[in-house]
Amino acid sequence: MRKPMLALVGRPNVGKSTLFNRLIGRRLAVVSEVPGTTRDRVQADAEWNGVEFFVVDTGGIEVEAGFHTAPLSEDSARFLPAIRAQASIAIEAADVVVLLVDAQAGITAADEEVAGILRRTTKPIIVAANKAEGRSAREAAVEAYALGLGEVFPISALHGMGTGDLLDAVVDAFPAWTATGDGKDDSTKIAIVGRPNVGKSSLLNRLLGEDRAIVSPIAGTTRDAIDTHMEWEGTSITLIDTAGIRRRGRIDRGVERYSVLRALNAIKRADVALLLIDAEAGVTAQDEHIAGYILEENTSVIVLVNKWDAIEKDTYTMVGYTKQLRAALNFLDYVPILFVSALTGQRVQKILPSAVEVDAARYERVPTSALNRLIRDAAARHAPPSKSGRRLKIYYATQAAVDPPTFVFFVNDPRLAHFSYQRYLQNQIREQFPFRGTPLKLRFRARGEASP
């Protein structure tokens, strides 16, 4: 039974992202005083009184530029039609809609226009008058009744005032099939990551078959890490679109900085990362840095060479490109590479099957007897290193964990396990047990020391 969905809508700068963060209990949506900061729908899990649901934060519904109480930045103004479309999609998908207005600013023509859009839907509509911290603002909140959408809840998303009553009304308005549960998300989480403007949002839309994220040739369009839940051949999948990760020295302060931090956090919570490379630009130093971030978080990975349709090709082009890519990303020599085009759909149908296969590799186990036989043979072919007359001795090995696969080696002295020999042992394991696209963790313990 699916969880119900709550959509937060309203004109820009009324506090939708602040309320979103308040409802989910963490700072996920980017919050800024600049109207138009939120452009795409941002979705996360929430719970109230044992009822679990999704909350969707949207870009402000724009009606006319003249209706703004504060000016949109020149950067955001060009997205007005797309922002309105995103909010409309969220309303269509939602089970309950909360319209936010600004109690301090009063009802504007833009609020009235948004209310007019909402009257056309049959979904339950709840009005929240935000920024009602003071007595005068709470009294002014009654003005929102003039919108004709029912009861108005004075709230302060920033301080939490009145949000409990608002949530009570939301839960009461959910459909009768709403269920409770432990909130555990067992879906396969796939993060789409890469430099700005390599086609991440275009790929997301192609995988979903709808305009789920705003697509623009302007680098930096996506600012939040956006979760989208879907089912693929019986597998529950969460696709995470992220902001482009720039080089540290080129990250602007403020909104972009936090967007990049959220992209890095998306890598951390993902099971599989889809690392997009621009086929026309080739592998850049920043691509290598992002790959390093993925490896640090022990996230599985598939490398996608996007915009492959734009490359002039002959019989050997793909082979040559693969060789260059393997050389540049030599620390990810175990990952699959797909040459795709988000624009034309070329080979996109192979991405989800590959991601599910790679995710499954995170849970594979090597029998202890087979592992020790493999390690003995590897040591016979290439003797362990020695230092100051002492040689590393491997007494016993076992796979201690999955997700990611973790191997513990009991040895005479862990300090003798040189990095190069650890890499050799990894390669030997992969020859028999590939763990496709998945990093391996090797731990070395002195004999008698407890395994973690």
The closest of 20, 26, 25, 27 to 5, measured between CA atoms, is: 20
Paired strand residues for 100: 128
Lowest-pLDDT range of 33-42, 164-173, 206-215, 341-350: 33-42
* Residue with more model confidence, 285 or 2: 285
Contact 49, 33 (CB under 8 A): no
Cα separation values, 93 from 8, 101, 122, 149, 435, Å: 12, 21, 12, 19, 38
Q: Can you name the CATH fold of 5-173?
A: Rossmann fold (3.40.50)
Q: What is the arithmetic mean of pLDDT over 411-415?
A: 93
pTM over 0.85: no
Q: Please give the DSSP secondary-structure letter assigned to residue 161.
A: B
Domain ranges of the chain: 5-173, 188-361, 368-446
Which CATH number is 368-446 given? 3.30.300.20
Residues of the chain with pLDDT > 70: what percent? 78
pLDDT at 448: 63
Q: Are 42 and 28 in contact (CB under 8 A)?
A: yes
Please tell me the predicted confidence (pLDDT) of residue 86.
57
* pLDDT, position 253: 47
DSSP-derived secondary structure letter, 182: -
* Mean pLDDT computed over 340-367: 96
* Span of 9-13, 55-59, 116-120 with lowest mean pLDDT: 55-59
Give the side-chain half-sphere CA count within 13 A for 380. Answer: 6
CB burial class (10 A; 0-12, 13-18, 19+) of residue 327? exposed
Least confidently predicted of 1-10, 162-171, 216-225, 267-276: 216-225
State the pLDDT at residue 117: 80
Reported confidence tier of residue 130, pLDDT bands at 50, 70, 90: very high
Looking at per-residue pLDDT, the higher value among 324 and 210 belongs to: 324
The answer to which of 78-92, 204-218, 348-362 has the lowest mean pLDDT is: 78-92
Predicted confidence band of residue 3 (pLDDT cuts 50, 70, 90): confident
Predicted confidence at residue 140, as pLDDT, reads 76
Phi, psi dihedral angles at 158 (to 5 degrees): -70, -40
Could you tell me if 155 and 162 are in contact, meaning their C-beta atoms sit under 8 angstroms apart? yes
3-state secondary structure of 410: strand
pLDDT at 108 over 60: yes
pLDDT at 312 over 70: yes
In sequence order, the 6+-apart residues with CB closer than 8 A to the CB of 209 are: none
DSSP one-letter code for 47: E
Q: 188-361, superfamily in CATH?
A: P-loop containing nucleotide triphosphate hydrolases (3.40.50.300)
Predicted confidence at residue 299, as pLDDT, reads 95
3-state secondary structure of 317: helix
pLDDT at position 63, please?
42
Torsion of CA 344, 288, 191, 222, to 10 degrees: -70
State yes or no: pLDDT of 236 exceeds 80. yes
Quick check: 373 pLDDT over 50?
yes
Whether 5-173 shares its CATH topology with 368-446 is answered: no
Residue 250, pLDDT score: 52
Q: Average per-residue pLDDT in the chain?
A: 82
Q: Is the distance from CB of 215 to CB of 244 less than 8 angstroms? A: no
Q: How far is CA 22 from the centre of its chain?
A: 19
Alpha-carbon distance 108 to 448, whole Å?
72
Q: How far apart are CA 351 and CA 115, in angstroms?
A: 41
Q: How far apart are the first and last CA of the chain?
A: 38
Q: Please state which of the ranges 15-29, 56-70, 93-107 shows the lowest mean pLDDT.
A: 56-70
Tell me what the mean pLDDT of segment 374-394 comes to. Answer: 93
**Which are the contacts of 329, defined by CB distance < 8 A and separation ≥ 6?**
283, 287, 288, 291, 303, 335
For residues 8 and 51, the answer to whether their CB atoms sit within 8 Å is no
Report pLDDT digits (tens) over 181-226: 544 567 899 999 998 889 998 999 899 886 666 555 555 555 455 6
Q: According to the model, what pLDDT value does residue 126 have? A: 92
Q: Tens digits of per-residue pLDDT, 30-60?
A: 444 444 444 454 677 888 988 888 888 775 4
* Beta carbons within 8 Å of 411's beta carbon, 6+ residues apart: 392, 393, 394, 395, 417, 444, 445, 446, 447
Average pLDDT, stretch 275-288? 93
What does the pLDDT read at residue 82?
56
Q: What is the pLDDT of residue 136?
A: 75
